[in-house]
């Protein structure tokens, strides 16, 4: 089941790419159908998943790959990976279905999205470090070409900067993987076995270097300050569906890696450096919100809010790893909140970037000063944007509030001062989104936008499931928390 979720879109990418030219118009519906298969399979996996099924992973599939090196093909899910994989599959369906200018190359465009979907799901489902690294690195390829070939502005430079930054980070991670592998006995890349062995001793320079390698790779991917500078140009110049995937899925590979590898395999070493990670997280929260508040470019504003929200995730992860003893309740709450924030951010920011794409398709500008009074012309567009913006600023009753409340509730028990400073980010986020809503939707309607068309049925259909889940998680989050909480509790030793 899980292997099919990875290989169906991978095979589908090849099929779509090789469609005859006369069938090019069928590339989109075929890609949507193929992208929906992993979503259906992961929903079936969700139905079979038992949150109280004991420690470890479920629905595991294994096969020998490179036995001389201890490398295997292994996939499985737990309460952390399953929600992220399901959210990613849904976001890919929405991004592929969302209207975009494919510039006469629909087969290549949609095949790249399907390739990226397969690779992204592989990252979240992999249970072998070598396999994890292969998927993690290949994600750069699909996104690079989507930005460089279908972006606007200085897209090639933005794509190159994205590729080089994240490649450098992944090379640091590769060295850390080798260090972890050489510490195992017998040699293995099996993530389950490494978690069981805990092969790297807590003290000493070696463990610190291994953690540093992983931290650099994941910090660039997340990204957290000061490793974030590749993100704004990549988002601004990328096509909107690619931006949605970049923010909603690829950034989560970094935060997921912190939990799956650093927190799970190096808990004692991570405990030593958790206050440092928490400090960088708070810097990302405040800096991301402040810089976003100063933006006049809609897409750049949304991009910097991703830096801010990934700071919330990392603050929860740092709180979760702050101790190996004592009451694990607050630390489990923080880790559950961080995981919910990953899911919520994917849905909310994915929707915001798709809505930014609607703006570009109609005006070919993201300049906030160019707009005013659009609420009078586009009620559906207004409602969708306001809902997503309020969810992002943490309004109660929406998904962002559920995540951020748990992150801060857990963190206050561990780092009360840092949590207090981090709360400033929520105030700043509220200010920047209210400013955005006021600039775009309120006031007099300029004559140039007198015929502004509302979002069409295709755009509404792509956005509807994302925004509906934002409301459902905000109002009744129990079904999601039950899946996450058991795994979070086990990771912090509750």
Least confident range from 106-115, 438-447, 470-479: namely 438-447
Helix (H, G, I), strand (E, B) or coil at 452: coil
Q: DSSP for 213-265?
A: HHHHHHHHHTT-TTS-TTHHHHHHHS-HHHHHHIIIIIHHHHHHHIIIIIIHH
- pLDDT confidence bin for 492, thresholds 50/70/90: confident
Kindly report whether the peptide bond that precedes residue 226 is cis, defined as omega within 30 degrees of 0: yes
Counting DSSP H helices and E strands in the chain, the numbers are 20, 2
286-305 pLDDT, tens per residue? 999 999 999 999 999 999 99
Prediction pTM value: 0.96
Predicted confidence at residue 202, as pLDDT, reads 80
CB atoms within 10 A of CB 293: 18
Average pLDDT rounded to a whole number, residues 400-421: 94
- Quote the strand ranges of 40-199, DSSP E: 58-66, 71-77
Predicted confidence at residue 327, as pLDDT, reads 67
Predicted confidence at residue 153, as pLDDT, reads 83
- pLDDT confidence bin for 205, thresholds 50/70/90: confident
Report whether pLDDT(494) > 70: no
Report whether pLDDT(54) > 70: no
315-373 pLDDT, tens per residue? 999 999 987 666 678 999 999 999 999 999 999 999 999 999 999 999 999 999 999 99
Kindly report whether the peptide bond that precedes residue 156 is cis, defined as omega within 30 degrees of 0: no
Report whether pLDDT(55) > 60: no
Residue 64 has, within 13 A of its CA and on its CB side, a CA count of 3
Predicted confidence at residue 206, as pLDDT, reads 86
Helix (H, G, I), strand (E, B) or coil at 12: helix
Mean pLDDT across the chain:
93
What is the distance between the terminal CA atoms of the chain, rounded to a whole angstrom?
Answer: 31
Whole-Å CA distances, 162 to 159, 169, 178, 229? 5, 11, 24, 9
- pLDDT confidence bin for 52, thresholds 50/70/90: confident
Q: DSSP assignment, residue 448?
A: G
């Amino acid at each position: 089941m899980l292997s099919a979720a990875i290989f169906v879109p991978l095979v589908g990418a090849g099929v779509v790419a090789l469609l005859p030219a006369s069938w090019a118009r069928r590339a989109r519906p075929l890609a949507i159908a193929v992208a929906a298969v992993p979503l259906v399979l992961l929903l079936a996996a969700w139905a079979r998943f038992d949150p109280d099924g004991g420690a470890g992973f479920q629905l595991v599939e294994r096969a020998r790959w490179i036995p001389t090196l201890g490398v295997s093909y292994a996939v499985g899910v737990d309460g952390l990976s399953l929600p992220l994989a399901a959210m990613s599959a849904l976001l890919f369906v929405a991004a592929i279905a969302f209207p975009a200018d494919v510039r006469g190359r629909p087969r290549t465009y949609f095949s790249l999205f399907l390739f990226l979907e397969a690779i992204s799901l592989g990252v979240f489902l992999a249970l072998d470090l070598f396999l994890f690294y292969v998927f993690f690195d290949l994600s750069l390829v699909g996104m690079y070409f989507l930005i460089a070939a279908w972006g606007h502005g200085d897209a090639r430079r933005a794509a190159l900067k994205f590729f080089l930054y994240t490649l450098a980070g992944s090379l640091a991670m590769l060295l850390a993987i080798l260090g972890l592998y050489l510490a195992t006995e017998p040699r293995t890349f099996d993530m389950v076995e490494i978690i069981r062995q805990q092969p790297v001793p807590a003290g000493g320079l070696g463990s610190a270097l291994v953690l540093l390698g992983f931290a650099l790779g994941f910090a660039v991917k997340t990204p957290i300050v000061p490793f974030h500078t590749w993100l704004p140009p990549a988002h601004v110049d990328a096509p909107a569906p690619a931006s949605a995937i970049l923010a909603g899925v690829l950034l989560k590979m970094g935060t997921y890696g912190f939990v799956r590898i650093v927190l799970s395999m190096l808990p004692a070493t991570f405990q030593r450096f958790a206050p440092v990670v928490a400090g960088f997280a708070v810097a990302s929260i405040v800096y991301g919100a402040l810089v976003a508040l100063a933006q006049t470019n809609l897409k750049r504003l949304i991009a910097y809010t991703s830096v801010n929200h990934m700071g919330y995730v990392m603050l929860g992860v740092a709180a979760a790893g702050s101790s190996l003893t004592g009451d694990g309740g607050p630390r489990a709450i923080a880790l559950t909140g961080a995981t919910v924030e990953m899911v919520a951010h994917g849905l909310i920011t994915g929707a915001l970037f798709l809505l930014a794409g609607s703006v570009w398709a109609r005006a070919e500008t993201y300049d906030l000063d160019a707009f005013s009074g659009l609420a009078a012309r586009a009620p559906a567009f207004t409602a969708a944007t306001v809902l997503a913006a309020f969810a992002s600023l943490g309004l109660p009753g929406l998904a962002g509030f559920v995540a951020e409340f748990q992150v801060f509730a857990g963190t206050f028990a561990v780092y009360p001062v840092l949590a207090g400073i981090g709360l400033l980010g929520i105030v700043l986020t509220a200010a920047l989104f209210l400013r955005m809503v006021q600039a775009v939707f309120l006031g007099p309607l300029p004559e140039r936008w007198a015929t502004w068309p509302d979002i069409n049925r295709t755009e509404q259909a792509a956005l509807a499931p994302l925004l509906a889940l934002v409301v459902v998680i905000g109002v009744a989050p129990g079904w999601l928390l039950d899946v996450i909480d058991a795994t979070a509790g086990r990771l912090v030793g509750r």
